[in-house]
Amino acid sequence: MSQILLLTKCIQAEQQIENEIKLLGHEIFCSTITIDQIVRQVFSDIFLKRFEIVILSETVPNYEIDNILKVLDTSKQKVIQKVTRETKKKEKQENIKNEIHCIIPISPTTEVLREVLASSSDIKKVNATFDKYAFNEIIYDLPFTKKEQEVVKELLEADGKPVPREQLCKVVFNKSDTNSAKSQLSSMVKKIKIKLSEEKMDYVCLKTVWGSGYQLIFRK
């Protein structure tokens, strides 16, 4: 069980995630006042150090997140940020990305929360867990065609292992790896790569493994 501090500009907006976290057996304290205290530099350092995990709501603007990160001990406290798809698309947040250990959707599933919070003691594990589950959640929000979604889902289910072209052709086109199917698959993979780049999904890498097929991996 972890003690979690959720910093938000609107307590009511956090009711769902607060209830989910409590059901998972963790203690959570939601606060708006603490943000103001940090900005005005009248916060209690002892109070902040009580929490092993700090969650930053999507309602908190970047300039306040900068102030918050300056006073947190990110070597001991794990910082998780809730973000919308538009945030990921439009804001790279280069100045704070090294201080935030993990990002989660604004309405994460119980499974995502369970795995992220359970692995909070290991930063690499937190990131890997989020990548696998959260990316699966947003596949249908990305501008993929139905067949492109099928390719991505099949690659995702392989857990980082290369998927043979023959298997992808059978799943997506319901036929063996004919020259026509291979050509269509190759074209589709190129389009998926372009769309991932356009959507700023920098942590997702779709690789061509010569002689083996295609592989979906997540950059740490």
Q: In this predicted model, what pLDDT tens digit does every residue of 151-202 receive, in sequence order?
A: 999 998 898 899 999 999 999 988 776 888 889 999 999 999 998 888 767 7
The pLDDT, as a whole number, for residue 93 is 45
The pLDDT, as a whole number, for residue 85 is 60
Q: 80 and 119 share a domain?
A: yes
d(CA 214, CA 217): 10
Q: 79 and 20 share a domain?
A: yes
Structural domains in the chain (count): 2
Q: 116 and 12 share a domain?
A: yes
**Residue 88 amino acid letter:** K
Last residue of a domain, one of 83, 112, 138: 138
Task: Over range 23-33, report the average pLDDT.
Answer: 94
Q: 132 and 40 share a domain?
A: yes
Domain coverage including residue 54: 3-138
The pLDDT, as a whole number, for residue 147 is 93
What φ, ψ does residue 94 adopt, rounded to 5°? -60, -30
Q: 78 with 54: CB under 8 angstroms?
A: yes
Q: Nearest-5° angle of CA 90, CA 38, CA 95?
A: 30
Q: 172 and 105 share a domain?
A: no
> What residues have CB less than 8 Å from 109, skipping those under 6 apart?
133, 137
Judge if pTM exceeds 0.85. Answer: no
User: Looking up tokens 């501090």, which residue turns up?
Assistant: 5
Confidence of residue 98 (pLDDT cuts 50, 70, 90): low
Burial classification of residue 213, based on how many CB atoms lie within 10 Å of its CB (0-12 exposed, 13-18 middle, 19 or more buried): buried
Last residue of a domain, one of 114, 138, 162: 138
Q: 85 and 149 share a domain?
A: no
